[in-house]
Amino acid sequence: MTHLTPAHATRFATATLAHLGREYPYKMDLVLNGPEDAKPPREHHPIFHGSFDWHSCVHGWWQILRLARRFPDLPVAAEIRARADAMLVPDKIAGERAFLDRPMAAGFERPYGWAWLLALHAEAARHDAPWAAALEPLAAAFAARFHGFLPKLTYPLRVGTHFNIAFALLLARHWAEPRDPALAALIDARARDWFGGDRDCQAWEPGGDEFLSSALTEAHLMAAVLGADFAAWFDAFLPRAAAGHPATLFTPATVSDRSDGKIAHLDGLALSRAWCWRAIAAALGPAHPVHPVAEAAAQRHLDAALPHVTGDYMGEHWLASFALLALDGL
Query: What pLDDT score does 55 carry?
Result: 98
- Whether the CB-CB separation of 256 and 208 falls below 8 Å is answered with no
Average pLDDT of span 131-147: 98
Dihedral over Cα of 151, 105, 210, 171: its sign: negative
Residue 80 has pLDDT above 90, yes or no: yes
Render pLDDT for 157-190 as a digit per residue (tens, 0 to 9). Answer: 999 999 999 999 999 999 999 999 999 999 999 9
pLDDT of residue 1: 87
pLDDT at 8 over 90: yes
pLDDT value at position 71? 97
Global pTM value: 0.97
Cis peptide before 72 (omega within 30 of 0): no
For the chain, what are the domain ranges? 6-328
CA atoms within 13 A on the CB side of 132: 14
Distance separating alpha carbons of residues 194 and 156, to the nearest angstrom? 6
Query: What pLDDT score was predicted for residue 160?
Result: 97
Closest by Cα among 206, 135, 122 to 170: 122
Q: Give the pLDDT mean for 18-36.
A: 95
| Residue 65: pLDDT band with limits 50, 70, 90 | very high
**pLDDT above 90 covers what percent of the chain?**
99
Quote the distance between the C-alpha of residue 131 and its chain's center.
20
**What is the pLDDT of the chain when averaged over all its residues?**
97
Residue 89 burial by Cβ neighbours in a 10 Å radius (0-12, 13-18, 19+): middle
**The pLDDT of residue 31:** 94
pLDDT classification of 46: cutoffs 50, 70, 90: very high
Mean pLDDT value of segment 114-128: 98
Under the banding of pLDDT at 50, 70 and 90, the label for residue 149 is: very high
Q: 3.40.390, 1.50.10, 3.40.50, 1.10.10: which CATH number matches 6-328?
A: 1.50.10
